[in-house]
Amino acid sequence: MTGLRARQKEQRRQVIADAALALFKTHGFVATTLEQIANQAGVSAPTVVNYFGGKQEILLALLKEPDKRAMREARSRLDDNADPLDALCELEGLMTSYQLRAMPASLWRELAPFLFTGELSETFQPWNTAVIEETRALLLHFQRQGMLRASVDIDVAATVFNQYANMAFIRLATEVTPDREAHARHMRSFLALMCHGMLKGE
């Protein structure tokens, strides 16, 4: 595929995703159909299927993008003077910030019951896997620097981080008026408790 064709394909994919998000915000995820998304994007329904597969996959792409941005930003700020607790708090804080901007509370409230069980949770597994892998890489960085105990099971720690961060975020995102400061304090307390068992010398 040439560079021009690749850019055109990515642009069309973005147009479809933007159209879907606008409809999800207006009508809700469940009520929105592939045909509506196609009409909004100015393409055919088979084209939407060809690019994404279905509206669940579109939603997955919309959810992954804010986290990808957050992970890139957190990675760019990581240096040899970083502290494990601060680094985890920053990663979680960036993901929370970008996700709150990505979707309104009404949509998060609709999605909340489906994010942890059922068909949607299976569709979203790649989203969770990406966050777990990024957290794993972050923790391995500190373990190699000798800041975390060598006996720490990094895979378990990364999974616990992701699972708890998901639950705390849904609670925040579905509040009528999300209290970001209270959320940040709560997450720092939880992550401090988690880090206490991982830090070398503890």
Q: Is 202 within the bounds of a domain?
A: no
Range of the domain at 167: 57-196
pLDDT higher than 90, residue 79: no
Do 154 and 169 belong to one domain?
yes
Do 2 and 75 belong to one domain?
no
pLDDT in tens, 98-145: 999 999 888 999 988 887 777 777 877 888 899 999 999 999 999 999
Do 11 and 81 belong to one domain?
no
pLDDT higher than 60, residue 1: no
- Mean pLDDT (whole number) for 86-92: 96
Do 109 and 30 belong to one domain?
no
- Residue 127: what pLDDT? 84
Neighbouring C-alpha atoms within 13 Å toward the C-beta of 101: 11
On whether the CB atoms of residues 17 and 62 are closer than 8 A, the answer is yes
Positive or negative, the CA dihedral 45, 51, 56, 58 is negative
Do 111 and 192 belong to one domain?
yes
- Cα–Cα dist 89/20, whole Å: 31
pLDDT higher than 70, residue 202: no
On whether the CB atoms of residues 84 and 147 are closer than 8 A, the answer is yes
